[in-house]
Structure 1
Amino acid sequence: MDRLNAALIHGKRLVAADGGADAALAQGLMPEAVIGDFDSLSAKARATLPPESLHQVAEQDSTDFEKVLSRVRAPMLLAVGFLGLRLDHQLAALTALVAHAHQPCLLLGTDDIAFAAPPEIALDLAPGSRLSLYPLAPVTGRSAGLEWPIDGLTFSPSGRIGTSNRVTGPVRLAFDGPGMVVITPPEALDALLAGFSGRPSARAR
């Protein structure tokens, strides 16, 4: 629950994906909305939640995470519980990030934060930090502030990937199309939020 507590420091509105409502209620938290097909929402949770907070989406062509991404609009979503569990669920969550990249979202895990790269972003990350680039589609781009620049490279899921790069200074990333997932340590959360908002990070002030 450390990740959830960290998320709630920055975002005060809580939306649960299906059975995530049970986890929230167990922590004494009441989601203002629950979205999903409700195949994992317990009967006890359903009886506890206000009826108007329940938004059931019966179709089975998308995951519960995708159902949330396609129905919630916010400057940024902080998503907890989608990294570090089942590998198939984790891969599906990364795919959903890229498919719904118009909705900025950070997946918060115990060991990583993952997000779909926007066309351009500037990040004030600590020198020496790990920064991995994992393509879910063919994509090219440019970088500054990385030990191994990406300029002139073509990334693809079955070809070149960019894991375990290192930060050498203020990071600038630009991509020519969608499809890149960026992965950082969890300590980068404040810098990522600052980068997406366009404001200076705490490190830069």
Structure 2
Amino acid sequence: MSKLIIDVPEPITLVGGGQGSAADLAETLTMAPHLVAVDGGLSLALEVGTDPLAVIGDMDSVAPGALARIPPERQHRVSEQQTTDFDKALRAVRAPVVVGVGFGGGRVDHQLAAFHTLLVHAERPTILLAEDEIVVLAPPRVTLDCRAGETVSLFPMVAVTGTSRGLEWPIDGLDFHPAQFIGTSNRATGPVEIEMHAPGMLLIVARRHLRPLVAQFSQGGARWPARAG
């Protein structure tokens, strides 16, 4: 499916059926006010009293009673099984940035698939909430108002290089590769700036950076171009 369903100028929240709380969703909606439910994530959306713009997925894990509360024109069933529901939903929305709630925790294979989707759709800035952290595919340039000693983890999904300022162990001149060299558990010495030369690096930082990162993307922060074809 490549049909664009939701196209808005403000951030979008995607809510999935993984680990996510009503408090997580309510907080996210204060900065990404347009809500799209992804399959079983509809239950959490309705729990907090929200009215999603759309429900997208193969609908194999959504409660029938929950789906009945959504008008048919806002139900978008995609039955193909080559991609995950998260992938289906991300292809169907366009916004300055997407925040994902309910795509972490639970099954490890689901989390890995979500990280893969971040890479596949590098041109669509997307931030995933974890229990205490956020995960985002590092854009061409990102700044973080870190405190000295704060953990800044970098995990390469592909071979990638970059530069940094404000990290205890700078990444300049390092060749990252998932099977050779990674950058988890780095530490900030203060405010951090990271530049990547190509898409492929997961950035994992504390959840307090969510709002500033949403603002960076919303205000035209650097992003990767769409892939040709």
Report the TM range for the smaller structure's normalisation.
Answer: over 0.9
Question: Aligned runs of 1:168-179 on 2, under 5 Å?
Answer: 168-179=189-200
Contact 1:123/1:195 (CA < 8 Å) preserved in 2?
no
The residue that corresponds to 2:52 in the other structure is: 31
Q: Report the count of equivalent residues.
A: 200
Quote the Cα distance in structure 2 between the aligned partners of 1:122 and 1:144: 9
Quote the Cα distance in structure 2 between the aligned partners of 1:149 and 1:74: 32
The residue that corresponds to 2:117 in the other structure is: 96
Deviations 1:116-139 (A, max 9, x none): 111122222233221100011010
Quote the Cα distance in structure 1 between the aligned partners of 2:35 and 2:74: 11
Quote the Cα distance in structure 2 between the aligned partners of 1:85 and 1:125: 29
State the identity %: 50
**Unaligned stretches of 5+ residues in structure 1:** 200-205
How far does residue 193 in structure 1 lie from its aligned partner after superposition?
2.3
Which secondary structure does the structure 1 equivalent of 2:148 belong to? coil
Structure showing greater relative contact order (alpha-carbon pairs closer than 8 Å, 6 or more residues apart): 2
**Unaligned stretches of 5+ residues in structure 2:** 1-20, 221-229
Which secondary structure does the structure 2 equivalent of 1:3 belong to? helix
- Structure 2 length normalisation: TM-score? 0.83
Contact 1:3/1:110 (CA < 8 Å) preserved in 2?
no
Q: What RMSD over aligned residues (CA atoms) do the two structures have, in Å?
A: 1.6
The residue that corresponds to 2:103 in the other structure is: 82
Query: Greater helix share, 1 or 2?
Result: 1
Quote the Cα distance in structure 1 between the aligned partners of 2:167 and 2:200: 19
Contact 2:166/2:189 (CA < 8 Å) preserved in 1?
yes
Quote the Cα distance in structure 2 between the aligned partners of 1:120 and 1:35: 31
The residue that corresponds to 1:126 in the other structure is: 147
Distance 1:54 1:163, change over 3 A: same
- Structure 1 length normalisation: TM-score? 0.92
Contact 2:41/2:62 (CA < 8 Å) preserved in 1?
yes
